[in-house]
Each structure stands twice: as structure tokens, then as C-alpha cells.
Amino acid sequence: MPKVKREARSRRTIIVGGVAGGASCAARLRRLDEEAEIIMVERGPYISFANCGLPYHIGGVIDDRDSLLVQTPESFRQRFSVEVRVLTEVVAIDAEAQTVTLRDLENDSETDLSYDSLVLSPGASPFLPPIEGVALPGVHVLRTIPDMDRIIEACEDSTPGHVTVVGGGFIGLEVAENMVHRGIDVTVVEMGPQLMPNLDFEMAASITDACVRHGVEVWTNTQLTAIKQAGDDLQIQTRDGKERSTDLVMMAVGVRPTTELARGAGLVLSPRGYITVDATLRTSDPNIFAIGDAIEVVHRVSATSGPMPLAGPANRQGRLVADIIAGRERTYCGPLGTSIIQVFDITAACTGISEAAARRMDIDHQVVWINAPSHASYYPGAETITLKAIFDPAGGKILGAQGFGKDGVDKRIDVLATAIAAGMTVAQLEELDLAYAPPFSSAKDPVNHLGSVASGVLESDHPACSWRVTEEEEDLLFVDVRTASEFAAGTIDGAVNIPLEELRARLDELPRDTQLVAFCQKGLRGYLAARILLQRGFEVRNLLGGYRLWQLVTDCQK
């Protein structure tokens, strides 16, 4: 009796989740394999939408709602020949049989579907703390387009006069700014000691300053304990006894990985509940990959495992998994955590590890700060950029960098991220050949300047101290080398004023048995003063970042 000949089918890849990671994986896999059968499943009504743009549509900065839809299910099917099933949830995985159970959320029917490769890109869900009132109608989260639509509807229906944003990270601050754009008063409540916890304290102070200057009330070190209905209004209550009447509450206190499906399939999860993957982004089942916000990855600098809920890494992970499914050898080198935010007129960014992380992980490190113009100071519109480098004191290898300012921060952090990825040292930053013309930079770009200062510190040519010196040390004499008018406008308590141009003639006014700290507004004149004093036999250090950075931090601590 002849054998029944089964019809051969192409290898089937099922992708769970259709936003950054999932959509990137599907599109890349199709480009590599025209014959592959690709099915993308999304439980929401939208795929490939710009979730990072949602706050800006709320504030009217992005006017066209449809522009947030990078691809629709129809356009994705037509362009990539990918079967897209929206409003469909994967409710179970049988890893042994290599099947998934799909539930159609419109008619509640279920079907089983086999796979050769399964890619989990389920993302994460907003975390709602277990406090009274968190489920009240006036309390919102922002993760999806329907979330955004509900917030806009609430703003248009009741015209709120005040919004409380709980959480001072990316989403919270972007929502806060865009509520101000709508003419609404805003209070930001943050449980930690600072806004933007991925930044070091003094760099995050720039964000706090921008919020306050634009009328946002900022409560740090404040834990929300209850939200209560008070007539038509809401009332928030905090652990330290503060109360405030508000019209809407935006919860933005973080996310939790969506890993119930992975847990049910018996996949290994980390102690924090994230999906564990190897360097090829495979889970504990070799036929199942995982990407995006639901996984833990190994940081490229610290070599520690943790989540990295950013769109850029998710996109790259999706492409890498597609390459592997298509038969190419690839490994994931890990993220640097490069990120950026604009809050009103200030941009702040970081890459690599922070100083706080280096301290927490007991990584030997050194730190410098510089202030430099975004482009040639004589060309109109130059703005001050503050950059920070965290580096290995043994050889100067760059471990991390941060920056803030009104212009040009993005390109400097991108250069520094590239330098970290290449394993460069601070001395090599000094030698980078970067583009220069007056509208774009200075002949010595801020990145070159940062490398120069760090190299000077490493080589002991630049004795320096940080803004913490007034908190951590005593019996110091601060020498303000700015002009008399600058000194009169504000200085460090107890400082003496000897302008730089007068310093050589007034050396006899300074004690030789006391540790001196020279400082100016931004750092350069303080450095020149330190070099003069050092060569005249004084014990002296320059205050890195100058009075400008010290004052920013001091004001933020009040």
C-alpha cells in the first residue's frame, strides 16, 4: 500500500506581540526568507504603533493621531506578506508539542496552531501599586493608543484644572510636560529622592529645575498612599501627610513584565519575574525566543543581568532573532542603556553605567564634569552643555556618560555611546576627529573637551573635586576666581574672591597650610587658577562643573 504523501509547508514562525520587537522581527524575517510562513499575533487592535509618541499627541505636539500608526494590520500584510491577527491572544503554549492556543477576543473562540519557531514579545504592563483608590475612574495609565484616547477624552470632557502625575520617569515627565501644554496645572509625585532615576542626582537636577521653572510642582521623597473621591474631585494622600485636590491622576510608577504565558509554558524566569534568555535570545526552550520589555539581558558594561525596557534594544533584538531563525549565526552583545528625554527646554541623556550604579556595584571609577558651548560661542544661539564621564582610573576606559542642556546633547551622547561600545579610553576621546563649523560645534568639541579634562585628572595635571566637596569635607578655603560682579551675585559660603586676572599678584593673601578649592562659573577659569596655584606650591583642587553645577544641585536639595 503506497504511503500517503503529505504536502510540505514552509517553516512557521509565530510572533506574540506586534509592537517594537515583534514587528521588527516579522519584517526582518520576511526580508531574509520570502518563503517563510510568518504569523504575528497581537491582543490589542493596533500593531507597530509609536508608543513613545503617545504623550506628545495628548499635548498636541503631534497633531495627527494617525501618524502614530507606523503600520496597520492591512499595510503590514500587504507590504510584508505576514499574517496579522489582531484582537487575538495567545492563552497557552505547549512547548513539547510546539503548539500555541489562540483566543479570538471578539468571538471568544479558541484554536490551536503549530510552530517551528516561537518569538515572545509580550512587553510589559503598567504597574499599579496596591493602594486605595487606584481603580477610580479618574485614575489613568498610558501604555497603548486606547489609554491615550481615554486620557484625551477625560481632558476634553471635564477640562481638568489640575493633574497629579505619580512617577518621575520617562512617561511621567513626558505626560507632565504635555499636560502643561494643554494649560493644566501639574504636580509630579516621586517616591525616590530625584526625578529620572537612571541619571545621577546632579544631572537629574536639571530636569527638576526645568519642571519648576515651567510651573510644575515637584514632590520627591514622597510616597502616595491613597486616592479618594471627594465630590467631583480626587484627593491624593501621601505617607508624610500631604494632601492635594486634583482632577485626574496619571499613574506612571513603572511596568511589570507580561510573563504569565512564559510561566505557564514552564520557561525559566529570573528571580524578578522576567524571561531568562541566552546570548542568542533563546529561552530555556531552544525553539522559543523572547525579546523586549519582558526579558532580562546582560548589560554591556556592568555585565549584570536586568531588564532594559527601551524601544531601541527591542528593535535590535527582533532583528537579531529573525537572523537566527533564517539560519544566520548571531549573538546579542547586550545594551548600554543609552536613553534621552526632553522636558520643556532641557534635554538630558545617558549611556553606559551611572556613577550611582558604579558605587552600588563597587566598580572602581573616577568622574569628571565639563560645561561647554553647544557650538562656537561667537555664533548666535550657543547653549551650555554639561557632560559627565564615568571611567576606569586604571586605564581611562569609559564606563558611562551623561549630559544635559538645551541643544546638542543628543549627538554628544551618541558619540560617547559609540566610544563605549568601541572600548575607548578618555584619552582617545581627546583625539576624536569630529565635524566642526561654527553653527555645529567648536574646534574643540565638548566630547574632546570631556576627554581632555578626564585625561588631565588621570595624569594628575588637573587636581579636581566634585560638587559634593562642600558636603563631604571640612577645613577648606574656597577661592572664587570669577569677577567681583559674579561673586556679588552669589557664591559658596565662606569663599574669598580673587579674580583670575589678579591671582598671580595676590598669592600672599592665600594660606599655604590650607587645602584650597578654586572655582569659577563653569570650570575653565578654576582649572587655570589651580594650575597657577599648584605650580606656586599651594595645595589646590578645581571644582569640576563650577559654581553653575554646584548651585543647580544645591537649589534642587532645598
According to DSSP, residue 48 is labeled: S
Rounded Cα–Cα distance for residues 422 and 467 (Å): 30
* Residue in 173, 249, 242, 187 with CA at minimum distance from that of residue 218: 187
One-letter identity of residue 113:
L
Annotated catalytic, 52? Answer: yes
Rounded Cα–Cα distance for residues 52 and 58 (Å): 12
Q: Whose grid coordinates read 536639571?
A: 206
Reading across the β-sheet that carries 515-519, which strands appear in turn? Answer: 464-465, 540-543, 515-519, 476-480, 496-497
C-alpha cell at 289: 525566543
* Residue in 274, 342, 277, 339 with CA at minimum distance from that of residue 312: 339
According to DSSP, residue 134 is labeled: T
User: Which residue in the list 25, 52, 155, 465 is annotated as catalytic?
Assistant: 52
Q: What angle do CA 352, 356, 360 make, to 5 degrees?
A: 105
Rounded Cα–Cα distance for residues 443 and 445 (Å): 6
Percentages (nearest 5) of helix, strand, coil residues in the chain: 30, 25, 40
- Helix/strand/coil for 498: coil
* Residue in 85, 81, 84 with CA at minimum distance from that of residue 30: 81
* 409-to-56, 505, 521 alpha-carbon distances in Å: 20, 39, 20
Active site residue ranges? 52
